[in-house]
Amino acid sequence: MGVVSLSVVLVALALLQLPGDGPVTPRGPSITEADRVPVGQGVFAGTVPPGVLVDEVLPAGPDGTGTTFGEPIQYQLGSRYDPTGRPHPMLVAYHGFGASAKSVAAQSTLDEECNERGWVYLSVTGLDDRLFGTAAAQQHVEAAVGWMLERFHVDPDRIAMVGFSMGAGVTMNFAARHRDPDGIVLAGIGLVSAAGDWTSTWTTGGAGVKSIMETPLNFGAPPSADPFAYRRWSATFHAGGGPFGIGSIQPHESMASNLGATPVYLTWDFGDPTGFVADQCSELAGFLPTLGGDVLVDTTFQTVDPDTGAPAPHSWAVLDEAAFFGFLEGRVADRRPRRVRVLTAEDRVVGRVAVAQRQGDAFSRLEASVGEPLAGEPVEVSGVANVARVDVRAGGPAARRVDASGADAQPWELGLGGFASRPSHLLTGGTATLVEDVRSEPWDDALVATVPPDGLVATVVSRPDWTATLTVTPDPAPPGARVELLADGPAEARSAWLVVGAHEALVPVLGVALLGVDPRPPSWLRLLPTDAAGDLRLAPFLPTVAPAVATHLHVQALFRDEHGAPVATSNSWMLRLD
C-alpha cells in the first residue's frame, strides 16, 4: 500500500473542510467534506456520436415520487438507442455528498461509455444531495428507475448502479434492499471510494455534517440516541477498531451481507486523504468475497484530475470506466438465487424467500438455500433470528428434504410452497412419522410448520389424491364461534366423510386413500351430501367449538362418488381456537 505525501494531505485538508466545521481530525476530513471536490472528466476516445443529456424533475405526489418532493434526474438514451430492438441495459449513477445528479456526467465518462456501448444512462439525486440513502431517498431512486422503465426501452434484468463515496454506500444499501424478484434487482454495482458506515461518518464529521445527519430525512438524532437508525441505512457497521482503525465489518449488522448474489466492482485510491475510506474499502475487499459472489477489486494510487493533473485521490477520477463496463458486460440480475443471506430491518421478499419479522426496529437474519429443485436437493434455512415466519418458494418436486434451524432459541414458522404439486404433509427426517400441527394454506399450495428451537428435519410429501381444497373461517376461531367450512371437491363427488379431531395420524382408508386426521375417537365423523358441483358448504359449522376441548382441531374431508368409492381427499385444515 502506498503512502500519500504530506503536501497532498495538507492541500486536500485545506480544500475539503466545510465552512463552519470544527477542526479536521488526525484521521483526515470526513467523507462528506471530501465528496464535493470536483474533477474533470478527461478526453473520451469513443467513436459513436455524442448522446444528449436531458435534465428532468420527476413530479411529487402519487403519480411521481410518492412524496411531497420532486426528484431531479439527468438521463441519456444515447445515439444507439433503438425503441424496437432488444431492450437496452441501464446504468444508474449516484453522486457524492453535496453534489448534484449532473455532477457525475461532468466528472466522469460514464455517460460517454453508456453512449458508446448502447446503455441508457440515468443519474439520480435521491431527493436531496445530502441524504444518506434513507427511506425517502431510496423511494425517489425507485421512482426514477420506474419512470425510465415505463417510458423507455430498458431491460429490467440489466440495470446496474454505481456510486461515489457516500453514493457508493447508498448504492450498496440500495442493492442489498432490492432483491424482490418482482421488483428492482440490480445486475451489478460499482463502488468508487466507498464509505458505507454512517456511524463512522457522523463520528469523523464536523458540526455541520453532524447537524445534516441529524435532520429528520436522514437519521433524526445522533447515533448515541438512535444507533439502529444509522445501521439500518448503512451498508456496513464496524466494531473493534482502535485509535488508528475502524474495526472489522459486523456481518449481522451490515446490510452489505446481502450482496452475495450481486456482482461488485470495488475501486479506491490507497492515498485517499479521508483516511477511513481506504480502511473501509480494505475491509470490504476482504468481506465481500466471503459472501460467495463475484467481486473485482481494482485499486489505484496517486490518482490525478484528468484535466488539470492535480492530485485527486478521492474523486470520480479513481474509477476506470472502461474496466467497470467490462466487468458489467453480459450480466443479468439474479432474481431467484439458489442461496441467499438475508439481513433486513423490515418484512422483505428476497428471491424465493419471504421474511416476516418478529420484532420491528431491529435486524432479522437468516441463510437459505433452495438447492437445485430438479435434482431434488434439500431446502435449508438456518441462522434464523428475530423472525416470525419464513416462506420458501422451493420449486421442483415436492419430495424434498427440509432442514431448518434457528439462532436465537425462539420458535418460528416455516412456509413451504411453490412445488410442482401441492404438498400434503411432512414426515420427520429420522423416523418418517407425521409431523403434527402443520397448517395447510391450499390457496397458495403451501404448508406451514412451526420450527422449534432445536430445529426441524423433515421431508415434504405430495399425495396425488389430496386434490380437494378445504378452508374454515374465521381462523383462529374465538370461543363459541360460528365458523364456516367450504370444501371444494371434484364434480363427480356425491358425498363426503367429514372428519374433525384433536389428533393427527396417517390412517389408510379402504386401501386407496389416506387421512391425516385421526378418525378414531375422540373425533367427530359425519357422512354429508355434496352439492351439484361436488362441494361441501357448511355455515355455521361446529357452532359450539370450545377451547376446553383443545387449543386446535384438525378438519379433513374424504369425497366419494355415487358408488361410495373415494375420489379425492382434501388438505388437512388446522383450526386454531382462541
Q: Report the distance separating Cα 291 and Cα 293, nearest Å.
A: 6
DSSP states of 211-278: HHHTSTTTTSS-TTT-HHHHHHT-S--EEE--TT--EEE-GGG-GGGGGGGS-EEEE-BTT-TTSHHH
Question: What is d(CA 172, CA 343) in angstroms, rounded to the nearest whole number?
Answer: 13
Q: What is the largest CA-CA distance in the chain?
A: 97
Q: Do 360 and 260 share a structural domain?
A: no
Q: Are 259 and 176 in contact (CB under 8 A)?
A: yes
37 inside domain: yes
The reply to whether omega before 442 is within 30° of 0 (cis) is no
* Domain-ending residue, one of 328, 362, 389: 328
- Residue 315 shares a structural domain with residue 368: no
CB 37 within 8 A of CB 99: no
Q: Which amino acid is residue 368, in one-letter code?
A: A
The dihedral over CA atoms of 165, 171, 177, 182, expressed in degrees to the nearest 10, equals 180
Nearest to 217 by CA among 347, 147, 125, 146: 125
Three cell numbers, residue 421:
404439486
Vertex 74: Cα angle to 69 and 80 (nearest 5): 145
Judged against a pLDDT cut of 50, whether residue 461 lies above it is answered with yes
Report if residue 154 sits inside a domain.
Answer: yes
Q: How many residues does the chain have?
A: 578
Residue 108 lies in a domain: yes
Round to whole Å and give the CA distance between 421 and 446. 10
**Within a 10 A sphere around the Cβ of 478, how many other Cβ atoms?**
12
Strand order in 401-406's β-sheet? 339-344, 364-369, 379-385, 401-406, 456-461, 425-428
Q: Which of 299, 328, 357 is the last residue of a domain?
A: 328
Give a yes or no: residue 238 inside a domain. Answer: yes
**Average pLDDT of the residues of the chain:** 91
Reported pTM:
0.91
- Grid cell locating 410: 425462539
Residue 375 is predicted with a pLDDT of 81
Phi, psi of 259 (to 5 degrees): -90, 15
User: Per DSSP, which regions of 110-187 are E strands?
Assistant: 120-124, 154-164
The pLDDT > 90 percentage for the chain reads: 81
**Residue 500 located in a structural domain:** yes
**One domain, residues 476 and 456:** no
How many whole angstroms separate alpha carbon 318 and alpha carbon 311?
Answer: 11
Spatial CA neighbour of 401 closest among 383, 422, 416, 386: 416
Residues 298-308 have pLDDT tens digits of 999 999 999 99
Confidence at residue 543, expressed as pLDDT on a 0 to 100 scale = 46
H/E element, 116: helix 110-117
269 and 126 in a single domain? The answer is yes
Q: What is the CATH number of the domain that holds 190?
A: 3.40.50.1820
Give the CATH number for residue 538: 2.60.40.1930
Residues 368 and 414 in one domain: yes
71 with 216, same domain: the answer is yes
Cα–Cα distance, 109 to 409 (Å, whole number):
52
Q: What is the pLDDT of residues 241-276, one digit of tens each?
A: 655 568 899 999 999 999 999 999 999 999 999 878
Contact 215, 131 (CB under 8 A): no
Give the H or E element holding residue 501: strand 495-501
Task: Note the pLDDT tens digit of each residue in 465-501.
Answer: 999 999 999 999 887 778 899 999 999 999 999 999 9
Same domain, 489 and 434: no
Residue 333 in domain: no
Residue 397 sits in the same domain as residue 435: yes
- Of residues 5 and 380, the one with the higher pLDDT is 380
Single-letter amino acid, residue 480? G
What's the confidence (pLDDT) of residue 374? 80
**Interatomic CA distance for residues 403 and 418, integer angstroms:** 17
Torsion sign across C-alpha atoms 490, 491, 496, 500: positive
* pLDDT at position 549: 57
Are residues 233 and 134 in contact, defined by beta-carbon separation less than 8 angstroms?
Answer: yes
Q: Which of 484, 483, 485, 454 lies closest to 470 in space, CA to CA?
A: 485
The residue from 461, 479, 509 where one domain ends is 461
Strand partners, 71: 58
- Do 150 and 259 lie in one domain? The reply is yes
Residue 550 predicted with pLDDT over 90: no
| C-alpha closest to that of 476 among 552, 399, 567 | 552
315 & 362 share domain: no
CA distance 540 to 136: 48
Terminus-to-terminus CA distance in the chain, angstroms? 65
Domain shared by 312 and 374, yes or no: no
Task: Provide the β-strand partners of residue 440.
Answer: 447
Q: Is residue 23 scored above 70 in pLDDT?
A: no
d(CA 413, CA 61): 38
| Residue of 300, 306, 379 whose CA lies nearest to 338 | 379
Q: Is residue 334 part of a domain?
A: no
What's the structural domain count of the chain? 3
SS3 content of the chain, % helix, strand, coil (to 5): 20, 30, 45
Burial class (CB within 10 angstroms; exposed 0-12, middle 13-18, buried 19+) of 454: exposed
Question: pLDDT at position 4, please?
Answer: 31
Residue ranges making up the domain that contains 375: 339-461
Determine the pLDDT at residue 99: 94
Q: Are residues 88 and 148 in the same domain?
A: yes
Report angle CA 408, 410, 416 to the nearest 5 degrees.
105
Structural domain includes residue 1 = no
Strand 439-441, strand 379-385: pairing:
unpaired
For 397-407, write each residue's pLDDT tens digit.
Answer: 888 999 999 99
Residues in Cβ contact with 359 at an 8 Å cutoff, skipping those fewer than 6 apart: 386
Rounded to an integer, the average pLDDT of 553-570 is 95
